[in-house]
Structure 1
Amino acid sequence: MNERSTPTVLTGTRIRERRLSLSRRQADIARAVGISPAYLNLIEHNRRPVSADLVARLAEELDVPAEELAEGREEVRIAALREAAAHPVATGLGPELDQVTELLARFPGWGQLLIAHARRAGGLERQLVDLSDRMTQDPYLLTTLHEVLSAVTAVRSTAAILVEEGEISPEWRRRFHSNLHEDSQRLSLTAQALVAYLDSFEAEGSAATPQEEVEAWLAAGASDAAELASDAARVMARQLESGLNADRDILPDQILAEAVTNPEARADPVRLAARLEMPLDLVMRRLADLRPAGFEGAGLLVCDGSGALTLRRAAPGFPLPRPGDSCPLLPLYQALAVPQVALVRDVVTPDGRGFRTLSHATRSQPGGVTGPVLTTAQMLFTPIDGPVPSDALAIGPACRICSRAACPARREPSILVPQPVLVERPNGTFDTGL
């Protein structure tokens, strides 16, 4: 794997840029901190080391926190600014990426402000995506909204009868009043429950479906399935736990950890499976579960023959597809068409992160020769250390929340990308408002 090369702002460079931004002379700064101008010149050109005590004195004279001059702090900030520049909102603005280090050296405060705003915008964007997803797919929310509409319709119909009809017998009037009272109570209780549930949207990490509940439980360490909230989640968790334990019995942690020490096997899970004389799908599941050396950031997606995701094991930076709403370009789905064939493909996420994927599908007949043929596909993905290959496949989480404006597989507009609006011209023709 290629080693990622991240530009570094050296201490001397930061000292020089800060001095120039203040229009201070080398001789004045050197005299103030007790060194010669020649020595300061060597420091500013990164030809002499700088002690912590001297950095502190220079920082005081340059009116900047000492940590802003210390070496090794800028890599994270440079990465943060580059990530902000890769956002779709920056498309067409042309940010000068080659000047990122100079920006941080000369204007550390402005750099921090840009990073803070980018991180806050990213957090709000993720919250918007989560709320939008829950508003359109949460089964409890959909059921509750249906109940509210049903109660409103019943109240309106009863009230209309009481108002519009002529003479109504006392007995029927009592019935209508009783129905109106019961329906209004039902509406009140349902609306209160709905408001309380919507208020809970602000709580991070709350699971909306049994599958998401199980995945959160698995990510947290899979301690005790009995602690899960829903009965369905507890059943699914016990089935998953049983499968994981069976895999561990067949391929123990120690054997797998020793096998990946071989560079050739570690670089190619297909050869690793052959070396272990184990099925490839089993080895893929164990790599995502154990995450041994070389697979520390591994994740796993599993789907059935219909393409519905049955398991999502997250990896840092990878946009997990939403249940029932995935990116159609995922290599996972290509594997369904060619069972027992290992497909390797590099992919790139909307924020520019690269991952190497290995997809493999298997078929089984648990009901015997007369039973149905079941297909299961798995995709193991690991982060790419280094530049993302130019031929990497551009993927996303799902069309509705994907920021890629131009995608051949897009099936619906994204809530993260401004959509063109038709505006009528004075001559009667129409044009987009963007």
Structure 2
Amino acid sequence: MTPARDSGAGPNVLLGTRIRERRMAQDRRQSDVARAVGISPAYLNLIEHNRRPVSAELLEKLAAELQITPEELSEGREEVRIAALREAAAHPVAGDSPPELEQLAEFLARYPGWSELLIAQSRRAASLERQLVDMSDRMTQDPYLLTTMHEVLSAVTSVRSTAAILVEDGEVAPEWRDRFHANLHQDSQRLSVTAQSLVAYLDSFEAEGTAASPQEEVEAWLADGADPAIQLSSDAARQMAAGIGQRLARDRQMLPDQALLDGLRADRDVVALAARLDLPVDLVMRRIVDLQPEGFAGAGLLVCDASGMLTLRRAAKGFALPRPGDSCALWPLFQALAAPQVALAHHVVTTEGRAFATISHSSRRQPLGLHGPWLTEATMLMIPLDGPAPDDALPVGPACRICPRSDCVARREPSILVPQGPRTGL
């Protein structure tokens, strides 16, 4: 089933988006609404991002729970927009000079584009305000956060006390020294595990009830098989997905599935295969990740432009990617930018000890002709390896802020997972 479109709101307003906007307008949590209608929060999240259909029965339940008629929720009548404009007008920013409420219908009819923009901006501002309040509340009242912080402080205090005894008491009996060393080891492990859990929990604060960025939406769409039936919630994500979809279609036309499979049976060397087929190396790498043939299961792909900004991320199995806009400077992907048209082969190992074989390649083009700028694009194919990492594997991480490698020569900012030198006090 394809989510219904709102003919009055324009072609880009989808049913899931309206459900989400209505829920957020009432300051309701996903988990509360999902529980009330008998579905999981995860399924409601997919619905709100237009990635799952809504049956007529479920639409009735959602409409009743959100105090709106199914027709308004699925068709988006003009009354819904007038109500949204009234909500915008009621914001305290209006002060002592509220807008002319009696002319809302005329304003909506004469300026539908400006009305949509005003409604969207108002809802976005309200969403950010609720998110800020929610974060503030969770930072001061969340029981899990408070318990975890207490656990961190407890472990730090224990480590410091034990270390102080070993330093200040001079000679310590071997039996007691061994006990103290064992305590230090156990407490440091407890502190490391708890701190990593705390970081993961803090990073999840904005996940519930907040739409993914366009890039994350497209990444999830690609992970679902780039199914055109899956609806994306934002115009930017749809535009990005359209461009990627066109490129995938061109790639498949230039290198059909069977031709790729036959070529890999003869030679698994990606660069040699590209030369034999007289095709670009990056095209062959994209097709391998798209098809996932035998021997390349779980393969992923990273693409960046000359600035180092990642323009496409298809995560390899077991390779944790950071938030969009962040990356590790040691990824071989960036080394390829300095050697256009040359394929670089590296082994890498993540902070969790997972090993990958990588092939990185960059190319240049001049779409505006002889006097136009050079555009450089680098692509890295990542292939998961079984067993321990090879001796020549390059240690890499997700991003400096969440990478525990304290001795990394490429670190550009302190990690929140490791201590940053001697400190006084707790």
Number of the residue aligned with 2:284? 283
* Closer, same or farther: CA 252–334 of 1 in aligned 2, 3 Å: same
Q: TM-score, normalised to structure 2's length?
A: 0.53
In the TM superposition, 1:6-405 aligns within 5 A as: 178=96, 191-192=129-130, 194-195=132-133, 201=205, 208-224=212-228, 227-262=231-266, 265-266=267-268, 268-405=269-406
CA distance in 2, matches of 1:202, 1:370: 45
Shift of residue 414, structure 1, vs aligned partner: 1.2
SS in 1 for 2:424: strand
Take 1:190 and 1:395, find their aligned partners in 2: how far apart are those partners? 34
Q: CA deviation at 1:370?
A: 1.7
Q: Is the 1:339–1:362 Cα contact (8 Å) retained in structure 2?
A: yes
Farther off after superposition, 299-308 or 195-204:
195-204
Distance 1:406 1:293 in 2: 37
Question: Separation in 1 of the partners of 2:209 and 2:283?
Answer: 30
Against the structure 1 CA distance between its residues 329 and 207, is the aligned structure 2 distance closer, same or farther, given a 3 Å change threshold? farther
Letter in 2 for 1:192: R
Contact 1:308 1:323 in 2 (8 A): no
Instruction: Give the letter aligned to residue 261 of structure 2.
Output: A
Q: Could you tell me how far 1:390 is from its partner in structure 2? A: 1.4
Cα RMSD for the two superposed structures = 3.3
Q: 1:227 to 1:196 in 2, by over 3 A?
A: farther
Question: Contact 1:342/1:358 (CA < 8 Å) preserved in 2?
Answer: yes
Q: Secondary structure at the match of 1:326?
A: coil
Could you report, residue by residue, the CA deviation over 1:245-291 in whole angstroms, capped at 9, with x for unpaired residues?
000000000110111112xx21x211121222221111111111111
Q: Deviations over 1:344-384 (max 9, x none)?
A: 01000001111010000000011111211100000001012
Cα displacement (A) at 1:388 = 1.2
Q: Which amino acid aligns with 1:219?
A: A
Q: Which string of whole-angstrom CA distances, capped at 9 and with x for unpartnered residues, describes residues 191-229 of structure 1?
A: 336446999947579753111110111101212277101
Distance 1:189 1:282 in 2: 41
The answer to whether the 8 A contact 2:403-2:417 is kept is: yes
Q: Which amino acid aligns with 1:258?
A: D
What is the letter of the counterpart of residue 346 of structure 2?
A: R
Contact 1:225 1:234 (C-alpha < 8 Å) held by counterparts: no
SS at match of 1:218: helix
Structure 1 residue runs without a partner (length 5+) = 1-154, 159-174, 425-432
* Cα deviation, residue 417, structure 1: 2.0
Amino acid at match of 2:320: P
Within 2, Cα distance between the matches of 1:255 and 1:339? 26
Assess, with a 3 A threshold, how the Cα gap between structure 1 residues 251 and 400 changes in structure 2: closer, same or farther.
same
Structure 1 residue 403: Cα displacement = 1.5
Say if 2:357 and 2:384, in contact at 8 Å, map to a contact too.
yes
In 2, Cα distance between equivalents of 1:227 and 1:328:
34
- For structure 2, list consecutive stretches of 5 or more residues without a partner in the other structure: 1-91, 99-121, 139-203
Percent same amino acid among aligned pairs?
Answer: 60
Structure index of larger Rg: 1
Pair 188,392 (structure 1): closer, same or farther in 2 beyond 3 Å: closer
Q: What is the TM-score when the length of structure 1 is the normalising length?
A: 0.52
Cα deviation for residue 243 of structure 1 reads: 0.3
Amino acid at match of 1:350: T
Amino acid at match of 2:391: S
Supply the AA of the counterpart residue of 2:130. Q
Q: Distance in 2 between matches of 1:224 and 1:247?
A: 17
Larger displacement relative to structure 2 (237-246 or 313-322): 313-322
| 2:221–2:230 Cα contact (<8 Å) kept | no
Letter in 1 for 2:414: P
Alpha carbons of structure 1 residues 421 and 229: separation in structure 2 relative to 1, 3 Å? farther
Return the alpha-carbon distance in structure 2 between the equivalents of residues 225 and 355 of structure 1. Answer: 33
Whole-angstrom distance in 1 between the partners of 2:133 and 2:256: 49
Deviation at 1:299, TM superposition (A): 0.5
Q: Do 2:309 and 2:325's aligned partners in 1 also have CA atoms closer than 8 Å?
A: yes
1:4 is aligned to none
How big is the shift at 1:242?
Answer: 0.3
1:317-369 deviations in Å (ceiling 9; x for gaps) = 11224322110000000000110000001000001111010000000011111
